């Protein structure tokens, strides 16, 4: 399922967000919001300024990232152990508000999440981007995954927050929430950008 939980939990964190200024925009895709590949972009995500934009696809399938996934373990606050891509997804989810009781502990993005919740009913795009950047940066710090891979994460977080908060507010695994993320190309864009095997959510 990879980062699907991350997108869903971000949508939950942004439950009150109307995103009126996003409603006429197309879903975020690699190269739109965070820069065109190879041009220097607008700095990518996760506070990684000047990353050169997001790769077209396969950003998480390089040898270094594969080694990270092969050795990645995360134990959440409830004591549940995750490995590989599921560990990265769980870390990303817990990065939204932080988790001092997890291994490793995560400082999280409570300030940015609070800012998103506090701007209801009209959030500026920069507020959503700040939360997406923070989650990507927190995830990268805890995992060691590449900047390019985390750029894919930032895009999918922003996409889910912008388009699917209403459908995901009560249950991030609800069919309507998943369908919204599929309808707005959030999940498919992450799958393409990351190059990781699809979880089949949009089949």
Average pLDDT score over residue span 21-40: 36
Q: Does the pLDDT value for residue 51 go beyond 70? A: no
More confident residue, 89 or 145: 145
- Rounded to whole angstroms, how far apart are CA atoms 120 and 202? 29
Round the average pLDDT of the chain to a whole number and report it. 75
- Rounded to whole angstroms, how far apart are CA atoms 130 and 138? 12
Percent of the chain clearing pLDDT 90 (strictly above): 41
More confident residue, 120 or 174: 174
Task: Report yes or no: 90 and 74 within 8 Å, Cβ to Cβ.
Answer: yes
Task: Report yes or no: 152 and 17 within 8 Å, Cβ to Cβ.
Answer: no
Domain ranges of the chain: 4-194
* pLDDT of amino acid 174: 85
Kindly tell me the burial class for residue 122, based on how many C-beta atoms sit within 10 Å of its own C-beta (0-12, 13-18, 19 or more). exposed
For the chain, list the strands marked E by DSSP.
73-75, 81-83
* Residue 185 confidence class, pLDDT cut points 50, 70, 90: very high
Q: What is the pTM of this model?
A: 0.73
> Per-residue pLDDT tens for 124-160?
889 889 989 998 999 999 999 999 999 998 888 788 7
What secondary structure does DSSP assign to 100-111, as a single string?
TTSBS-B---HH
* 56-65, 119-128, 131-140: segment of lowest average pLDDT: 119-128
**Maximal CA-CA distance, the chain:** 43
Question: Which tokens is 115 given?
Answer: 């800012």
């Amino acid at each position: 399922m990879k980062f699907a939980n991350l997108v869903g939990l971000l949508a939950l964190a942004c439950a009150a967000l109307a995103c009126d200024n996003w409603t006429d925009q197309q879903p975020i895709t690699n190269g739109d919001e965070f820069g065109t590949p190879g041009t220097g972009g607008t700095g990518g995500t996760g506070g990684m300024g000047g990353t050169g934009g997001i790769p077209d696809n396969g950003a998480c399938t390089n040898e270094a990232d594969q080694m990270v996934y092969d050795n990645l373990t995360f134990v959440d606050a409830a004591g549940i152990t995750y490995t590989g891509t599921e560990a990265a997804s769980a870390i990303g989810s817990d990065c939204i508000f932080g988790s001092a009781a997890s291994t490793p502990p995560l400082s999280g993005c409570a300030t940015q999440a609070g800012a998103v919740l506090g701007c209801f009913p009209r959030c500026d795009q920069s507020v959503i981007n700040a939360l997406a950047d923070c989650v990507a940066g927190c995830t990268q710090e805890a995992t060691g995954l590449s900047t390019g891979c985390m750029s894919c994460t930032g895009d999918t977080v922003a996409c889910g927050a912008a388009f699917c908060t209403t459908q995901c507010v009560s249950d991030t695994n609800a069919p309507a929430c998943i369908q919204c993320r599929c309808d707005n190309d959030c999940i498919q864009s992450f799958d393409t950008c990351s190059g990781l095997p699809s979880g089949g959510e949009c089949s």
